[in-house]
Structure 1
Amino acid sequence: MSRTEQDLRELFRSTHVMPDGAAKFAALEEVIRHADALGLVEFAFEVRMEATEVFQQSWAPAKAFLTFSWCLAAYDREPGRFEGGHEETLLWQFKWMVSSVHQFPEIPLGRTADLLDDMERRYRRGGHSPHAVLQHRGLVAEATGDLARAQEYYEQMALTRRDALSDCSGCVPSSQVRTLVALGRDEEAIRLGEPARGSGCTEQPQWINSELLLPYLRTGRGEQAAEAHRTAYRRIRGNPGSLGELASNLLFCAHSGNPGRGLDLIERHLSWLDRARTPLADMEFAAAAVAVLSAVETGGDGAPVLRFPTVEGRRRPDTTVTALAAELRERVLALAARFDARNGNGYQSARMGEWMAAGPIGEPVPLPGTGTDLRSRSGERVHRLTDRVAALVAAGDRPGAARARVELAETLLAAEHPAEAAEAAEEAVRELDRYGAPEEAASCRWLLARVHQQHARRGDAAERLRQLLDDTDDADRPASLPARPDLEARLGELLGNGAEPAARYLAASLGFAAAGRTADRLRALVQAMWRHPYSDTEAETGLLRDILTEARTVLADAPDPAHTGEVVAVLRGYVDQIRATGRHREAADHLTTARTLLEQQLAADRADPGAAEELTDVLTELGQARLRLGDPAAAEEAALAALAAAGDDGYTWDAALLAARVLRARGAASEAAELMAAHDITEDDLSEAEEY
């Protein structure tokens, strides 16, 4: 399908409100492809610059390599062709490329070295400090096993001035701490890193807190480690791009005597391996997971069944701790061998071997939801429940501990401690799943969804509702849960606009229909139409076809006057979806029906301002449809009726614009001019309306 420049700019703007993921990536790539085809070089440059950031900040840095390289080459050829400020942005993006490229074992180290040399040349040519260059040379040296060179770059960097191209006050210490930990200089790492824990950039504080976990544990600072883990995990739990930081947090669970917590995180996030940010992050997560699984096996509990949530319509089959450990160990060894072959040493194999064999460091560390840190956060009931959880865990009664955690979560939520409530409930739901309590697990997921929604964590709330709907059989649904269509509608609301929320609302509409809940059915159907992306083709395909089929089923029945508002909304939603397909006759017929229903409603209750406002809108849309059908007389009648329906206080600009167009077309220039003056309509407004 061909695209105009205006189409592409509108599609590009729409990506700004899309969540990161396959749909946004595909939309950006489509804009780029068509912009190239149309020869829109400056626009293609602008889109690629933004796409580089989107890809880098999510989990697709390999895509960023292509967009960055194109922009760099285009800028080098014609720097004067692009608006100011792009050179500095490209120099900043060099850091992203270097930080990612060495994490792919198929890319030779020579290419990374060339990239670093090019970066240094450009920085020096622009009069910039080499601070950022030294930082990234050190990160590459550390990751490839050249620890002596990593220390050298660290010391040089410490003596070099920072400038506007240096990383922020949180990210610079994070990379330095990574080097110091690799060198075994834990106390220095803590002194350098702790001030950065208050940093607020997009990478922080999750990065610095994750880097500090191991030095905290190795120096006996268990409480600080537990707090760093909790703070980091809250920021990374919803971002698959944080797989590397999550690996550090998994390793913490193995080191701190919390393999049960680690098992929860593995079940919750194993699907992230399917879209691992880089092979290095893939390898580190898998190795840390093996450490946790091995700790569970060592404790004599290698047989529990691991159950994984449904993600994007796919669900990993259930497995055992032992089987998953073997699978991931093989994955780690294969990846480590690829890195070693590229690096020319055995560093990554040795490092990952140490990770997979990781055991406890010092005394076990109590975590939020199971330890004494909650004692200072609420009242006696929280204290009593915390003790009860600890006692049940000590006695080996994991199902009982899970039920106590549910009660603890409810109490914490009532006491305005949502983060702690979520932690307790997350642990509880995994235990309930693991030990075969599906009804209680479903109730706990519903609790989690409410916790997250009440505290503006829409993504987490949607994830829990999705799991509740997709993974819970109706036979396992406790009576305390809302009906399935209510949950479908609630999930659709959380998801915003797009195909999935439209599908959820359609499922809700069908469920309400089966339950005889007509008003709810109509409202859900309207949302399904409004949330679905507008069709620009003649055919009704896939989900849209199903939605419009349901709408036609509804509209085939004689409407109940009690549901006039909902039926009119269905009619208007239907028209919105088919208008772009050229089906103006069908649109006009449905709008005429909506007009009749609203006029009947106003005849029964003339004091209803909502109905009057809606009638104005319907009449205006009807007039536009009649005009497209080549019936200016009917269009004029509808436009003038809209002005009359609005009255003195209603919104009349669109109706007046339509009326002015029709009057002008039939030669009533003075009437059109009078109407335009009364409603502040300009000649440009008329011209734009005629083009549309």
Structure 2
Amino acid sequence: MTTAPQTTDELYQALQENDRRPYGRTRTVTAEELVDAAEQFGEPGPLIDALLELQEAYTYGSEPRKSPVVFARLLTLFDEQPDAFDERLRHQLFWRFKWVAHALRQLPEIPLASLNQWLTEMRERYEKADLGLQPYYGQAYQLAAHVGEDTALAYDLWAARTRTRLSDCEACETCQRARYLLRAGDDEGALRAFEPVLAGKESCKEEPARSASYALLPLLRTGDTDRARELHLTGYRACRRNPSMSEEVGRHLEFCALTGNEARGLELLAENRNLFDEVDSPLDQLGFLTGVEVLLQRVEALGHGELPAAGYPGRTWTVAGLRAEVRGRADDLAARFDARNGTTTHADRRRTRLDRAPLLERLELTLRTRELDEVAQAAPAAAPTTPAAPAVPESLTELILRARELDEVGHPEAQVCWARLRTLVADPGYSHPDDPAVGPLVRLRADLLAEEAHRAGAKEEYADSAALHEEAAALYDDAGEPADAAVCRACALLATAEIPPRGEDAAEVRIAGLTDAHAAMVRLHEETPDLAPYQEARLLRLRATTLAVRLQTSGNEEHIAPVHAEIELLHTFATRHELAGQVSGALLLRASTYAVSGDLPTAVTEIDALLARLREHGPAWHLPRTLGLRGRLQLGLRDAEAAYTDLSEALRLAADWPADTVDTTRLHGDLAETCMRLGRPEEALRHLTRSAEADLRRGSRTDAFCSYSNAAQLSLDLGRVEDCIALLDSLLIEPDVVSGELDDRLVAQLRLTRARALRTGEDLKAATAEFVALAAESAGWDDDPGSHAMIAAETAVLLGESGEFERARAAVDQALAAHTKEPRYEMLSNCLRELARLQAQQQGPDGLADARAFLTDAGRIADEARAAAYEAHGRSLDSALAYEHGRVNAYAGEYEDALTALDKALALLGEPGREEDHAGEWAECVRLAGAVEGLYLERPAPALTRLDAAITRLTALGHTDETQPLTALAARLRDEA
């Protein structure tokens, strides 16, 4: 709070603003300051309201020690000045007796006698005020359940009583009844009891999130895994990072541990690290820590005790170290509660949870499948496993020779040998073989650098690839291997030419660079003597590839023939020397060149011939890549079924080879597109996420996040809102996202999709907060005002839906300012019209002036669009604006103006034709005009004439569906006549 309120009006405004803040330290500190400010006015009313806000902040901010102190002040004020408490304040006071009872149970240092004494006072106060005792018996039952004694009697005394105005909300009471059945071992009965809350029929501030956390394991035990998954996603999001729901977070961690989702559990633990420090309630701590321990115990049992884990602040933790710390603290808390209560209830409940065996081997919880090593903070990316990894020679000499032999023919298993050699050479004690067949150490180092350069190029890290190739070439020169040096320098030329240039003439610069690179390669080839056949074939392949990339960049027909000429040189040479891999490479390049040139049928013919050759002569590892290309060609020919067959087969065969042999990222991406064309979006979603996972394993994080972004949008389009949000939540807590290392626009897109998903999921408060934040950030995007206009416009509409029209006006003004730099006619028009509708609908006549101001802006946008000859993709901006004038005036009671505007809209639309281009829009406009004229202006005769004529017109044109609302309205008008 910047300045203290100077008047009671300012105080109440500050209280309202604080009420919009999430629970936590900021809200609590502000509430404390507002109590100090309220005391200065010397009036009981403002002080009572400020104290109520402070007690709420303590209660839901998990500070139970402070809540009773504030309530004591309120109770004293009530005893001293009962007339200061109107009906609302009196209700609040008696309601919060339950809050105090709850707070006292949370504190093991409070004697059991004091808890019973408080319940006695609650009963006496209720009886004195002539209030029903059901709330008192509810607190007596909760104390009995906490202690673990006399629960059946206490439950009956509470549950059999009629509810009163001061009873806990129905959702909370439902949860208590269901938990009673759970403790009795009746899973099915408990789930039936939970159902009204889980189905959304009953809710409150903490429900259904609390009930969801308790229902997770019973659902698993009764076999309803889909519902358990659904409730995990929705329930966790509602309680994450919330100190007052830390126990529920612990139950979600436990659920992850018992369903084979230990990696997600560690991820969620990291996201909730604040709870180790911010939960001031010992009982909530106990529940949270027990859930944490269940997770850590499981991870350690799986052999991952040394993984990093998020724990108490001030030091770094391993899973094993944090588990020991958590176990000690939780055991101590359980012992303290049991000592206070004189039972072993809490130690017994802890033991039951910790002894529970996993309920499922694996339940797929989110779209992002992760393993334990991938979640580890600051841990290196896990190396992808390969099926039946080939054995490498034990002898160092044999290993080096084998690596070179495999590399000469391009065999993918060379990677395994190089990886082993890289590890051996890096050892300080490495001793190089003294063998002429192996050559000097400098040659081996050159081999390893060249292999590393190829891997960098495969990741499109062209600058690194070029530098590594140049370094390898220099070492080959030192080793007396000029032919290998020439091949490396040729690779460096291509890598350098592929570095994306910047500027408006980037394409021309790249084409020139590739032309120069090819000329340099030809000279290098001609000037290098004593090339072995495999080395000369590599130079020919590089020459052909360089020209093929140039053609792909330019699309110039003049560049086609030079590519084919180089390919023919390669093919002839490779055939003469029986280099099967290079023959295949030449044929693949030829097919690709036909495809790039636009001759897809010939490209397919070439690919078919290559596939036949590969299946007969090999090399087998070229099959996945070739099938992948044929699949893409089939997509181009619009044969999605054939494409699906080829791509699926390519993916299946790729699994037979080391992970980097085939670009499985591309295969999954192509399969995702194919599945969308085949109407299989769920399968497409799986391929998108697998493509992203493959990119992550390769270290291509930007590409991975782009694929995940597409997956999130697709999941939202499919209505899988919680899947979308869970995926994005997982991505947005990645270290490089949090630290700002990832591209800020890509992160903004992820957040924007998440905000839209929150809105779709009707979490308007969270959606609004995210949209407002994005609008503020995008205001600085001077290079992309159009995106800022879009975000600000969406923000404005969401604020309008929440009734915050002043903030909506400010947001839409930002959008309009950005629109002047990069026009967004249709989007801004839609936004302004929607804001006008919302304000008129919510505020009626009081909001008409401001609503009309929005429409005036929309009119200016329509004029600009007309002047710019802009054609809307949807409704005409002019007719849509006229219709909205009609609707807004109707909401505000200005019916004559509304009818005039609707008639104008109908004139702009024109009579519908047989095509369904605007029949629905026209019919709706007629319907609203008929309602205004017949119902509100009470002129049924002309309204019926209008409606009957429209029905006849639409029926004759075959638009029978559009006539139904008109027929219903006409019938109503005749009935009321």
Task: Report TM bin, short chain.
Answer: 0.5 to 0.7
State the shift of 1:331 in Å.
2.1
Tell me whether 450-459 or 286-295 shows the greater mean CA deviation.
450-459
The answer to whether 1:189 aligns with 2:187 is no
Deviation at residue 113 of structure 1 after TM alignment: 0.9
Give the Å deviation of 1:461: 7.9
Q: Which residue of 2 aligns with 1:383?
A: 683
Output the amino acid matched with 1:17: E
Distance 1:76 1:136 in 2: 23
Q: What is residue 177 of structure 2 aligned with on the other side?
A: 176
Paired residue secondary structure (1:203): coil
**1:15 aligned partner, one-letter code:** L
Residue aligning to 2:165? 164
Say which of 211, 215, 226 aligns to 1:212.
215
Cross-structure match for 1:10: 10
TM-superposed CA distance for 1:236, in Å, is 1.7
Q: Does 1:420 align with 2:713?
A: no
The match for 1:98 among 88, 98, 101 is 101
Aligned partners of 1:441 and 1:422: how far apart in 2? 20
Instruction: Please point out which of 200, 203, 207 is paired with 1:200.
Output: 203
Q: Which moved more, 1:202-211 or 1:117-126?
A: 117-126
Question: Does the alignment pair 1:133 with 2:136?
Answer: yes
Give the AA of the match of 2:10: E
Q: Which amino acid aligns with 1:252?
A: F
Q: 1:5 to 1:275 in 2, by over 3 A?
A: closer
Residues in 2 aligned to 1:116 and 1:255: alpha-carbon distance in whole angstroms: 38
Q: Find the residue that maps to 2:321 and give its secondary structure.
A: helix
Give CA deviations for 1:381-423 in whole Å, capped at 9, x if unaligned: 44144267589999x9798998775553243246564432221
2:47 corresponds in structure 1 to 44
Cα separation, 2, equivalents of 1:436 and 1:203: 28
SS in 1 for 2:87: coil
Structure 1 vs Structure 2: percent identity of aligned residues?
27
Equivalent positions of 1:174-573 (< 5 A) are: 174-197=175-198, 198=200, 199-237=202-240, 239-276=242-279, 278-306=281-309, 318-362=316-360, 364-369=362-367, 380-386=680-686, 408-413=711-716, 417-428=720-731, 433=735, 445-454=747-756, 455-456=758-759, 491=773
Q: What is the one-letter code of the residue matched to 1:70?
A: R
What is residue 519 of structure 2 aligned with on the other side? none
* 1:210–1:106 Cα change, 3 Å: same
Alpha-carbon distance in structure 1 between the residues aligned to 2:342 and 2:770: 45
Letter in 2 for 1:411: L
Q: Shift of residue 285 of structure 1?
A: 0.9
Aligned with 1:80: secondary structure? Answer: helix
Shift of the 415–141 alpha-carbon distance from structure 1 to 2, 3 Å rule, reads same
Q: 2:315, 2:242 → 1: CA distance?
A: 23
* Number of residue pairs the alignment of both structures matches: 472
**Structure 2: distance between partners of 1:100 and 1:364:** 38
TM-score under structure 1 length normalisation: 0.59
What is the distance in 1 between the residues matched to 2:749 and 2:726? Answer: 12
Give the direction of change, closer, same or farther, for the CA distance of 1:315–1:383 in structure 2 (3 Å limit): farther
Q: Using a 3 Å threshold, how does the CA distance of structure 1 residues 388 and 138 change in structure 2: closer, same or farther? A: same
Residues of 2 paired with 1:291 and 1:13: CA distance?
45
Give 1:383's aligned amino acid. Answer: E
TM-superposed deviation, 1:440: 6.3
CA distance in 2, matches of 1:77, 1:216: 52
CA distance in 1, matches of 2:738, 2:728: 16
Q: CA RMSD in A?
A: 4.5
Residue 357 of structure 1 deviates from its aligned partner by: 4.0
Q: CA deviation at 1:360?
A: 0.7
Listed as ranges, the matches of 1:579-658 within 5 Å are none
Task: Return the alpha-carbon distance in structure 1 between the equivalents of residues 352 and 744 of structure 2.
Answer: 38
**For residues 295 and 408 of structure 1, do their structure 2 counterparts lie closer, same or farther at Cα, with a shift above 3 Å needed?**
farther
Seen in structure 2, the aligned counterparts of structure 1 residues 416 and 7 have a Cα distance that, compared at 3 Å, is same
Q: Which amino acid in 1 is paired with 2:187?
A: D
Mapped to 1, the partners of 2:90 and 2:228 lie a distance apart of 41
382-391 or 25-34: bigger deviation: 382-391
Counterpart contact for 1:129–1:160, Cα < 8 Å: no
Give the Cα separation in 1 of the matches to 2:267 and 2:698.
Answer: 13
Does the 8 Å contact 1:433/1:441 carry over to 2? no
**Counterparts of 1:284 and 1:114 in 2: how far apart (Å)?**
26
Q: CA deviation at 1:364?
A: 3.4
- Cα separation, 1, equivalents of 2:297 and 2:691: 25
Distance, in Å, in 2 between the alignment partners of 1:46 and 1:204 is 25
Deviation at 1:273, TM superposition (A): 2.5
Higher CA-based Rg? 2
- d(CA) in 2 for partners of 1:266, 1:42: 43
Which runs of no fewer than 5 residues in structure 1 stay unpaired?
309-313, 466-489, 495-503, 521-608, 610-692
- What residue identity is the alignment partner of 1:154? Y
Residue 436 (structure 1) shift: 13
The offset of 1:5, in angstroms, is 8.0
User: C-alpha offsets along residues 90-109 of structure 1, whole Å, 9 cap, x if unaligned?
Assistant: 12111111122201112222
C-alpha separation in 1, matches of 2:94 and 2:343 = 31
Cα shift at 1:493: 5.4
What SS does the corresponding residue of 2:272 show, helix, strand or coil? helix
Which residue identity is paired with 2:320?
T
Distance 2:768 2:279 in 1: 22
Distance (whole Å) between structure 2 residues aligned to residue 328 and residue 260 of structure 1: 19
Counterpart residue type for residue 291 of structure 1: V
* Structure 1 residue matching 2:274: 3-state secondary structure: helix
Aligned AA for 1:16? Q
Give per-residue Cα distances to partners, 1:341-391, cap 9 Å, x unaligned: 2222332223223333443125533324269xx999x95244144267589
Structure 2 gaps of 5+ residues are 370-671, 789-859, 861-977
Structure 1 residue 288 displacement after superposition = 0.5
CA contact (8 A) 2:241 2:274 kept: no
- CA distance in structure 2 between the partners assigned to 1:182 and 1:398 by the alignment: 48
From the superposition, tell whether residues 437 and 270 of structure 1 become closer, same or farther in structure 2 (CA, over 3 Å). Answer: closer
Q: CA deviation at 1:176?
A: 1.6
Distance 1:192 1:458, change over 3 A: closer
Change in 2 beyond 3 A, CA 1:435/1:289: farther
Instruction: Answer yes or no: is the 8 Å Cα contact 1:399–1:435 preserved in 2.
Output: no
Is the contact made by 2:38 and 2:47 (CA closer than 8 Å) also made in structure 1? yes
Determine whether 1:55 maps to 2:58. yes
Distance, in Å, in 1 between the alignment partners of 2:186 and 2:9 is 52
Give the residue type in structure 2 aligned to 1:151.
A
The question of whether the paired residues in 1 share the 8 Å contact of 2:709 and 2:750 is answered with no
Contact 1:209 1:229 in 2 (8 A): yes
**Greater RCO, CA 8 A, separation 6+:** 1
1:29 to 8, 29, 32: 32
1:429 Cα deviation from its structure 2 partner:
5.7
CA distance in 2, matches of 1:360, 1:405: 30
Q: Distance in 2 between matches of 1:23 and 1:438?
A: 25
1:442 deviates by 7.8
